[in-house]
A and B are shown apart, each in its own frame.
Chain A
Amino acid sequence: MSDVVTSSPAAASSPAAPTGAVTADGRGGRTAGTVFKAVVWAALLVVLLALPLYVNEFWLRTGFVVFGAIVGAIGLNLLVGTTGQLSLAHAFFLAVGATTYTYLSGSPGGFTTKVGGLALPPVVGGLLAVLAAGIAGLLFSPLAARLRGIYLGVASLGLVFIGEHVLNTWTSVTGGFNGRSAPGFSFFGFSFSDADKPYLAVLGVPFGQSERLWYLGLALAAVSYVFARNLIRSRPGRAMQTLRDSEVAAAVMGVNVQAYKARAFFVSSMYAGLSGVMFALSVGSIAPESFSLAVSVQFLAMIVLGGLGSVGGAALGAVMVAALPLVFQQYADSLPFVAGVGEGGIVAGEAARFLYGAAVILILLFQPSGLAGLPQRFRRPRRPAGEVTAFTPGEPAQGAAPAQKTEDRPTQSS
């Protein structure tokens, strides 16, 4: 596979790996397109690295929320987009991650409700939280592996409600209905919160909590991105995609279907767990309502907007869905269609939901490969791009399929 990338230094340049047809070539070398992409990626990285020097705290905080969403969306996309397993349980796995982190690294105490805590170093708490979410995914996977496609979607719904109930009930760990505050992050003595930090300034810009969290988020999102990209283009990724397109074909080609579904769940929920930890850090607290079904639906919207199966698409979708309500909120005054709180009319959160709800519908109707498929649509008109990139889980890819199919079923569109 993508031998092109092996010649370049590991992590940073991997996002520059060429897509699709170029990749598989393996020895195509650095074509003009590859170089162009590398330049774009490098520029993006520089901008993202330099941003804290120029923008205000609102954007940095929004940025960290978005990075967390990116991690979660990439994880859900591995499960739904790549492996074809519809899951509405993502919010549940986020909750497992966030709660585990908060409990393990939090301190016991609380005013109205007593909560426990192990006060472990945040790095340890964070890692264990990710692992715990993964294990929760593994525990669910035997059920998931037995259910065929759409049954899984509805069954996973149950997990969210059960999870919410546990969050409300298990007060000593979760803080119950009102939730509890989440410990700040620190990394070998370097703190990411405003609480106890050595003063730090770069180029005269003080580096407080939001600047530091920005870089933490950027690093975690980048690593998550690169890992998922690599995964999809490798042996496990091919097996997962075949599982999506035809379970029978995958099995007959030697893929252990049950085991692979379980692993897909494991990886996906670890991503969710990390996203949950980042969420706890961005808000500074956790509460049951933060992990409701609406959150699962939001993540689903992200990956559909971006384009199911595309890692970059998931990231793009996450940026849109996660940032919109915050941005609308911030700039409610200057946006004609958004009202401030209490003014009547459409408030920021609602405007954002209308927008991405409608976007999901429009994307599915007119651009099934999502935002990620847009460039292809314009770049190579000679190839029926929609056909190739369109996501078709659960149906064997068929030869002359798209055209043939409509012919076969003449009455269906009537």
Chain B
Amino acid sequence: MSGATAVGAPAPGDAGAQPELRPIEVEDISVRFGAVRALADVSFSVAPGTIHAVIGPNGAGKSTMFNVLSGIYKASSGQVRYGDAMLTSMEPHRIANLGIARAFQNIALSGTQTVTENLLLGRHHLTKAGFLSSGLRLPRATREARRHTERVREIATFLDLGDKLDTPVGVLSYGDQKRVEVARALCIEPQVLLLDEPVAGMNADETQRMAEIVLEIRDALGITIVLVEHDMGMVMGIADRVTVLDFGRRIADGTPVEVQADPEVIRAYLGAGDDSGDDAAADSEPPFPSDEERTS
């Protein structure tokens, strides 16, 4: 892919440009909302440099897991370690500063700002310009902005957004916005990329392209990618390892092949006793459709 090499070289002068990859250890995480247990003693570990998928039917606790990883939810018990850093006791922005970036499932971009402006937010922790130097347009603030805009341009190009840099995000198509989400996370120069359902709502072509992008990111940057996804075909095609959640519990963990053969996983997905009604796809379709079978 043309952009792959471009994105591989971080801009000069960035703090922590070279990723030093560390494993993520999730240990006995539980999350309670009042009486509801959204996660119950979930453990798994993510090896550095791999693509690790977390899957499960609706309401299984995948998004809750992501919210714990990025510090938005506090775990009731258990811990998440990233190397020697304890993510479970950190605020979200500190986790971001460690180089753990997240792309949201429900697009959380600023619709009024342009693609460039949204992506520059990803450079927030790599830049310093404060209120005073920005308000006064001191040369160092201007220089910094220019330098990082260059890098943003590279990353946008890599995600096929090169021609939309100046477009307000609000008017982009859904698929474009999804890619802006991923691009913004990449702008953090992450060591770990958390992708929350990156292909939800995408058509087959867009899904295919996103799968390629995820692989390219891993190959070009060598970073760790954790993926929450509904789309089984995509997950099984690109993940190195899969953790399966159901009703807040971990029911399986292994390679895609292992997981696919696991009887408990099949049961969960075929929906025996599963009453999560709005998850029509998981209920009515075979658990692991191939690429050809998927339509939207």
Q: A residues near B, CB below 8 A?
A: 1, 3, 5-6, 10, 14, 20-22, 24-26, 227-228, 230-231, 234-239, 241-242, 244-246, 248-257, 263, 267, 309, 383-384, 387-392, 396-401
> What residue in chain A is nearest B113 (Cβ atoms)?
A241
Shortest beta-carbon distance from A307 to chain B in Å: 11
A256-B145 in contact (CB<8A): no
Which residues of chain B come closer than 8 Å to A389, judged between CB atoms? 112
A3-B166 in contact given A227-B135, A230-B135, A252-B96 (Cβ < 8 Å): no
**Residues 141-167 (chain B) with a chain A CB within 8 angstroms:** 141-142, 144-146, 149, 165-167
B72 near A: Cβ within 8 Å? yes
B94-115 Cβ-contact flags toward A at 8 Å (1 or 0): 0111000110101111111111
In the complex, the answer to whether A6 meets B142 with C-beta atoms within 8 Å is: yes
Known interface pairs A26-B146, A392-B112. Does A254 touch B93 (Cβ–Cβ under 8 Å)?
A: yes
Instruction: Report the separation of the CA atoms of residues A179 and B116 in the bound assembly, to the nearest whole angstrom.
Output: 51
The CA-CA distance from A48 to B144 in the complex, in Å, is 35
Which B residues are CB-close (under 8 A) to A392?
A: 111-112
Any chain A CB within 8 A of the CB of B134? yes
The answer on a CB contact under 8 Å between A236 and B134 is: yes
Cβ-based interface call for B137 (8 A)? yes
Contact (A263, B142) CB under 8 Å given A20-B168, A251-B93, A383-B171: no
CA distance A315 to B124 in the complex (A): 29
Chain A residue numbers with a CB within 8 Å of B92 are 248, 251-252, 257
> Looking at chain A's contact residues, is the secondary structure mostly helix, strand, loop, or mixed?
helix
27 interchain pairs (CB within 8 A)? A1-B120, A1-B145, A3-B142, A3-B146, A6-B137, A10-B137, A24-B117, A25-B166, A26-B146, A227-B136, A230-B134, A234-B145, A235-B127, A236-B130, A239-B121, A241-B117, A242-B113, A246-B108, A249-B109, A251-B96, A252-B96, A252-B101, A254-B188, A255-B121, A309-B112, A398-B111, A400-B174
**Complex: A5 Cα to B142 Cα, angstroms:** 10
- In the complex, the answer to whether A235 meets B145 with C-beta atoms within 8 Å is yes
User: When A and B form their complex, which 9 residue pairs have the shortest distance between CB atoms, in order from nearest?
Assistant: A397-B111, A234-B134, A254-B96, A254-B125, A249-B108, A251-B92, A227-B135, A396-B108, A399-B174
Q: Which residues of B contact A235 (CB under 8 A)?
A: 120, 123-124, 127, 129-130, 134, 141, 144-145
Q: Are B149 and A248 in contact (CB under 8 A)?
A: no
Which residues from chain A contact B141 at a C-beta distance below 8 Å?
234-235
Shortest distance in angstroms between B35's beta carbon and chain A's nearest beta carbon?
Answer: 23
Q: Is the CB of B130 within 8 A of A397?
A: no
Which of B93, B95, B106 is A255 in contact with, Cβ under 8 Å?
B93
Q: How far is the CA of A244 from the CA of B113 in the complex (A)?
A: 12
Chain B residue numbers with a CB within 8 Å of A400 are: 173-174
Q: Judging by beta carbons under 8 Å apart, are B107 and A252 in contact?
A: no
Which of the residues A237, A238, A387 comes within 8 Å of B170, measured between beta carbons? A387
Known: A231-B134, A390-B112. 13 other contacts (CB 8 A): A1-B146, A20-B168, A234-B141, A235-B120, A238-B120, A238-B121, A253-B101, A257-B92, A384-B171, A387-B111, A389-B112, A397-B111, A399-B177
